[in-house]
Amino acid sequence: MRFHHMAIMVSDLPAAIHLWRDVLGFELVVERTLPDGVAPGPKVLMHSTLLDDIFKVKGARSRMAWLKSPEGAMIELQECENPPIQRTPPENLRYAHTGIHELGLAVDDIAFWFDKIRAAGYETQTEYIWWCGNFARSFLFYDRDGNMIQVWQDVPRSGVTAQPEIRLAEARK
């Protein structure tokens, strides 16, 4: 089995597309309102009966975007209209609650991504990039709905003891 995609429920689809396309560099492949047909067909992603069954409401409706990174990672963004989207309280999006709360992205230049994400106005969990053992550097940031996204860079450091954190000035080393 291999990973296919991650669906993220969002409260503002254009803002979410901005993060994934304009900041993180994903390509917008599809954007449409669902259902996009009344019956199955070659150009229908979700017909009305299927969407009602999946969402468990009559008259289900959602705005959806499908994005893909140059490396092939795929993200599905959904802004439900019926049932109406409800923002999850930030404290329920953290590690103390069950569910999938973190999406990890692998990068080659973590300092570049740290600067780009902060410059775009996204909150990072820490003011620095940290070491994960002696094999990687990482940081977490939050999208506009409070979802945690971890950025990770594998950095082999044979024989070097990991530092507990890397301050901004040190992140570029």
At residue 165, the pLDDT reads 55
Helix (H) or strand (E) holding 17: helix 13-17
Q: Is 22 helix (H, G, I), strand (E, B) or coil?
A: helix
Let me know: does 129 contact 111? Beta carbons within 8 Å: yes
On the 0-12 / 13-18 / 19+ scale of CB atoms within 10 A, 141 is buried
- The answer to whether residue 167 scores a pLDDT higher than 90 is no
66-120: per-residue pLDDT in tens? 999 999 999 999 999 999 999 999 888 888 888 888 999 999 999 999 999 999 9
Could you please state the CATH topology (level 3) that the domain comprising 90-170 is classified under: 2,3-Dihydroxybiphenyl 1,2-Dioxygenase; domain 1 (3.10.180)
- The answer to whether residue 128 scores a pLDDT higher than 90 is yes
Residues of each domain in the chain carrying CATH 3.10.180.10: 6-82, 90-170
- The answer to whether residue 163 scores a pLDDT higher than 60 is no
At residue 96, the pLDDT reads 87
In this prediction the pTM is 0.86
Average pLDDT, integer, range 20-34 = 97
Average pLDDT, integer, range 31-44 = 92
pLDDT band at 5 (very low <50, low <70, confident <90, very high): very high
Q: What is the mean pLDDT of the chain?
A: 89
| Angle, alpha carbons 139-145-151 (nearest 5°) | 20
CATH of domain 6-82: 3.10.180.10
